[in-house]
Chain A
Amino acid sequence: MLRHLFTLIWNRKRANLLLISEVFFSFVVLFGVGAVLITVGKNYLAPRGFESTQVWRLLVRAGQNQKMPRAELDDVLRQVKALPGVQTVALTSGNLPFTFNTNNSDFVYKGRKTPFYANTYDADDRYGEAMRLHLREGRWFQPVDDGTHHRPVVISQDLREFLFGDEPALGKIFTYAGAGKETKPEDEFQVVGVADNVRMESDFSAAIPSVWKRLVPYDTTHWETAAVLVRVAPGQGGALQEKIARTVAGVTRQWTTEVRVMEDDRLHRRLFTLVPVVGLCLMGLFLIINVALGLFGVLWYNISQRRAEIGLRRAMGATGAGIGAQFLGEMMVVTTFGVVLGGLLAAQFPLLHAFDLPAQPYLLAIAAAAGAVYFITALCAWQPSRLAAAIQPAVALREE
């Protein structure tokens, strides 16, 4: 039966070519939309690794080419910390969560070089507390680290797995990938802790391996802009924001201040993914509805054209259900041709690791797109098939 159907379609391949190509393109569209949705959805459901509620970001800018002395900066931080409602104040680098700034680098341990770029953050001793990072091993930076020869770092679990595998990680020293034989001690990183994976880019991005490098308190680096994380008590609002701005201005009028709520950044950043994804889904939906209506019309017409054939077959003893099944089956065979062609194209994505994504979402998307295409064509063929099944042999043959 099935072989018979395939031969039938194959013999009429010219006539079915348009239908097959339509199924093919629908499959490709569904695969594309599916791959995006699956990737984005999977990321969204993964844990974020830190808590951004009640964290504000405070940027203090000295201006271009103007440096702020660390002593003065520390004075600012001390005064902000002393404000009622402020719980923790941590100094970090400008690549704050949900902003568009990134600092990254590749690293090497015993000749094993990371094939990816890990995000690097400067962080002081309070950073872990301000972001509520969850440590799996070891501890956060402490004043006892002052005496260490190498630079203490905390790394994320995914980086730990790559660099050290099953071996213990604490106390190990790794360096920048580009480092030569003579590495400076501050470019040698000694692991003091391992944190959970973090997703700091946006709600919809995957976890990125991360390294937090300790900012030493007596660091004499001069800053153009200082990025500060402020964890506040619940329920704090604009009044405290203004107080913080005025406190910074109280130390020096030359600097400009920006106090923003991190949750606002998160919601803002989220739009940059949501808007294109929703647009893509709407377009995909429209294309599929379009194709579905078209298929329905064509099948409906085809069946009314083949009334004579159906009448003859009924007269020869075929049942109504058998006829209906045949039409449905023919459509499924056409769909199979389209899906196989589309599948061949789509399979290139996981094979070539397109866009540096893992294979799993692609395979899921292929399965989902195939399922959806079969479902849609079956739905479109169902009503016309029923019409065909209901044709009475006597009526159909009389017309001829």
Chain B
Amino acid sequence: MLRSYLKIAWKVLMRRKFFTFISLFGVSFTLMILLVVMAIFDHAVGAAAPLKRVDRMLFVNTMRHQMADGHGWMSNPVSAHFVDDYVRKMKTPEKVGVTTVSSNATAFTKSKLLPLDLAYTDGDFWQIMDYEFLGGRAFTGAEVTQAQHVCVINEATARAYFGTTDVVGRAIEIDLKRYRVAGVVRNVSAAQIYAYADVWVPYTLNPQYTKDSRLNGEFLVVLLAPSVAAVPAVSAEYQQMMKRVPIPQPKEVKAIYSYADPIVPGVTRAVFSTNDPSLHNDNLTKFYALVGGLALLFMLLPVLNLVNLNVTRILERSGEIGVRKAFGAAGSDLVGQFLVENLVLALVGGLLGLGLAAGALALVNEAHPVAYAHFSLSWSVFGWGMVLTLVFGLMSGVYPAWKMSRLNPVAALRGSGEQK
């Protein structure tokens, strides 16, 4: 049965090539755009070096102070003091690492200014992240404690400053301070905000970072849970720990909030919880609903177009439908047949779209919109693409199929295409 449906589907596709072209164009381009967007999203939050174990990682982005008397909010990353006194004493995380949001630094090469993004980290950070080293090694916890002037630089910096990547042990002058290069890593995409920098140095080299006794400071915390299953436990322990943190200046500050979240909820909490009411809610569902809604909205116009075309094509085939009905085919048979035809079309369009998306991503990569980013289609994106294709096929096939099943056989046989 299905085989004959498929055969018919193929014959129908080949009969009116212009119509088939229009349908395929709509399906494939819509999917291409959605796939490109998803590939970019996947690139920013998915598991890829150096965040290979992203499903076991939790991130602390901010410490939010709710000021007394409705004086608003103050949000900052956390301080080294807070990390040392509270976060590092947690039981469930396997490792606790810190890094800063990269800040601007400058190096000068033979009278050329080399702008660099510099991040301060501790030793554990390098054990949580899986950087690919081209040479040398990361700096160790001991080197951080002793505040040695060592650094890790990326490939691009090594090439721009020294002209080669074989530079382990050599000295580099950044912001007019000298560092010894401990290791050279492969370039990290600027879209991976927790891992990106051009140069990494021990955080103990910045005296302001360690002297501070406030809760808010400069640091992003990366926690590694012992297993994927232990992630909620780490998050829960962090909440327990926050309850023990005394509020600084209780006269001015009403309450403090901070969360350890996996990567996506961490972002959605920051984006959607600008004010109090939903603070305890990470708004992940809201985010996915919003994104899903936008994707459906975007698919709406191509789907409408396809529905329109399909309705037209059914009328064209009213003779065939009339004959089948006259020979006793039930409405459901016809609906099934038409849905199969439509899914075949969507599937072909989906595969084309996948190819187009790969091409578009190659073009995007060529243009280097984000420093060192290389977008690619992963298996998860491919899977989602196929799901979207099916949704697309069903969305555009249901109404025409229903319409088809309701054609009056007598009128249909006459071929006039009139509907009841």
Given A21-B304, A22-B301, A253-B176, A301:B208 Cβ within 8 A = no
A-side contacts of B175, CB under 8 Å: 256-257
Complex formed: what's the CA distance from A268 to B213 in Å?
36
15 other contacts beyond A63-B206, A242-B111, A260-B115, with CB at 8 A cut-off?
Answer: A18-B304, A22-B304, A25-B304, A64-B209, A241-B113, A245-B176, A256-B175, A257-B175, A258-B104, A283-B33, A283-B298, A290-B29, A293-B25, A297-B312, A298-B308
User: Closest CB-CB distance, A121 to chain B, in whole Å?
Assistant: 21
User: Closest CB-CB distance, B410 to chain A, in whole Å?
Assistant: 18
Write 28 A-B pairs (CB below 8 A) sorted by A numbering. Answer: A22-B301, A22-B305, A25-B301, A25-B304, A26-B301, A63-B208, A64-B217, A64-B218, A65-B212, A66-B208, A238-B108, A238-B112, A238-B113, A245-B106, A246-B176, A249-B176, A257-B175, A258-B106, A283-B33, A289-B25, A290-B26, A290-B302, A294-B305, A297-B312, A298-B308, A301-B312, A301-B315, A305-B417
CB of B130 within 8 Å of the partner chain: no
* Nearest-neighbor residue (CB-CB) of A241 within chain B: B113
What 0/1 pattern do residues 206 to 224 of B give for CB contact below 8 A with A?
1111011000011000000
Complex formed: what's the CA distance from A25 to B300 in Å?
9
CB of B84 within 8 Å of the partner chain: no
Complex formed: what's the CA distance from A3 to B343 in Å?
42
- A286:B29 contact, CB within 8 angstroms: yes
- A286:B304 contact, CB within 8 angstroms: no
CB of B22 within 8 Å of the partner chain: yes
B-side contacts of A64, CB under 8 Å: 208-209, 212, 217-218
CB of A19 within 8 Å of the partner chain: yes
- B26:A294 contact, CB within 8 angstroms: yes
- B22:A294 contact, CB within 8 angstroms: yes
Q: Among residues 1 to 57 in chain A, which have CB atoms less than 8 Å away from a CB atom of chain B?
A: 18-19, 21-22, 25-26, 29
CB of A221 within 8 Å of the partner chain: no
- A297:B218 contact, CB within 8 angstroms: no
What 0/1 pattern do residues 137 to 181 of A give for CB contact below 8 A with B?
000000000000000000000000000000000000000000000
- A297:B208 contact, CB within 8 angstroms: no
What 0/1 pattern do residues 290 to 321 of A give for CB contact below 8 A with B?
11011011100110010000000000000000
* Nearest-neighbor residue (CB-CB) of A271 within chain B: B369
- A301:B302 contact, CB within 8 angstroms: no
- A257:B301 contact, CB within 8 angstroms: no
CB of A83 within 8 Å of the partner chain: no
Residues of A within 8 A of B (CB): 18-19, 21-22, 25-26, 29, 63-66, 237-239, 241-242, 245-246, 249, 253, 256-260, 271, 275, 283, 286-287, 289-291, 293-294, 296-298, 301-302, 305
Partner of B316, one of A289, A291, A301: A301
A-side contacts of B29, CB under 8 Å: 286, 290
CB of B311 within 8 Å of the partner chain: yes
Complex formed: what's the CA distance from A29 to B25 in Å?
19
CB of B19 within 8 Å of the partner chain: yes
A-side contacts of B111, CB under 8 Å: 237-239, 242
- B208:A65 contact, CB within 8 angstroms: yes
- A294:B308 contact, CB within 8 angstroms: yes
B-side contacts of A241, CB under 8 Å: 108, 113
CB of B45 within 8 Å of the partner chain: no
Complex formed: what's the CA distance from A65 to B207 in Å?
11
CB of B388 within 8 Å of the partner chain: no
- B301:A18 contact, CB within 8 angstroms: no
CB of B309 within 8 Å of the partner chain: yes
* Nearest-neighbor residue (CB-CB) of B211 within chain A: A65
B-side contacts of A257, CB under 8 Å: 106, 175-176
Grouping DSSP codes into helix (H, G, I), strand (E, B) and loop, the A interface class, with mixed when no group exceeds half, is helix
A-side contacts of B308, CB under 8 Å: 18-19, 22, 294, 298
Q: How many residues of B contact A (CB 8 A)?
A: 43
- B113:A259 contact, CB within 8 angstroms: yes
- B309:A298 contact, CB within 8 angstroms: yes
B-side contacts of A66, CB under 8 Å: 208
CB of B307 within 8 Å of the partner chain: yes
A-side contacts of B307, CB under 8 Å: 18
CB of B327 within 8 Å of the partner chain: no
* Nearest-neighbor residue (CB-CB) of B175 within chain A: A256
CB of B18 within 8 Å of the partner chain: yes
- B206:A290 contact, CB within 8 angstroms: no
- B26:A297 contact, CB within 8 angstroms: no
Complex formed: what's the CA distance from A153 to B29 in Å?
55
User: Closest CB-CB distance, B147 to chain A, in whole Å?
Assistant: 15
A-side contacts of B302, CB under 8 Å: 287, 290
B-side contacts of A293, CB under 8 Å: 22, 25-26, 305
A-side contacts of B298, CB under 8 Å: 283
Complex formed: what's the CA distance from A390 to B17 in Å?
23
Most A CB contacts (10 A, CB to CB) among B104, B301, B306, B308 go to B301
B-side contacts of A258, CB under 8 Å: 104-106
Q: Among residues 86 to 106 in chain B, which have CB atoms less than 8 Å away from a CB atom of chain A?
A: 104-106
User: Closest CB-CB distance, A66 to chain B, in whole Å?
Assistant: 7
Partner of A294, one of B105, B217, B218, B309: B309
Complex formed: what's the CA distance from A291 to B315 in Å?
20
* Nearest-neighbor residue (CB-CB) of A288 within chain B: B301
User: Closest CB-CB distance, A241 to chain B, in whole Å?
Assistant: 5
Most B CB contacts (10 A, CB to CB) among A259, A271, A294 go to A294
B-side contacts of A287, CB under 8 Å: 301-302
Complex formed: what's the CA distance from A143 to B305 in Å?
70
A-side contacts of B311, CB under 8 Å: 18
Most B CB contacts (10 A, CB to CB) among A18, A29, A302 go to A18
User: Closest CB-CB distance, A181 to chain B, in whole Å?
Assistant: 21
Complex formed: what's the CA distance from A258 to B312 in Å?
65
- B212:A298 contact, CB within 8 angstroms: no
Complex formed: what's the CA distance from A227 to B115 in Å?
18
- A297:B22 contact, CB within 8 angstroms: yes
User: Closest CB-CB distance, A273 to chain B, in whole Å?
Assistant: 13
* Nearest-neighbor residue (CB-CB) of A66 within chain B: B208
A-side contacts of B313, CB under 8 Å: 301
Complex formed: what's the CA distance from A301 to B305 in Å?
14
Complex formed: what's the CA distance from A78 to B209 in Å?
31
Complex formed: what's the CA distance from A158 to B286 in Å?
40
User: Closest CB-CB distance, A165 to chain B, in whole Å?
Assistant: 34
* Nearest-neighbor residue (CB-CB) of B415 within chain A: A305
A-side contacts of B218, CB under 8 Å: 64
Complex formed: what's the CA distance from A8 to B206 in Å?
79
- A290:B25 contact, CB within 8 angstroms: yes
A-side contacts of B115, CB under 8 Å: 260
- B106:A259 contact, CB within 8 angstroms: yes
B-side contacts of A271, CB under 8 Å: 369
* Nearest-neighbor residue (CB-CB) of A65 within chain B: B208
* Nearest-neighbor residue (CB-CB) of B19 within chain A: A297
- B312:A298 contact, CB within 8 angstroms: yes
Q: Among residues 16 to 41 in chain B, which have CB atoms less than 8 Å away from a CB atom of chain A?
A: 18-19, 22, 25-26, 29-30, 33
- A286:B33 contact, CB within 8 angstroms: yes
B-side contacts of A286, CB under 8 Å: 29, 33
User: Closest CB-CB distance, A91 to chain B, in whole Å?
Assistant: 20
* Nearest-neighbor residue (CB-CB) of A296 within chain B: B22
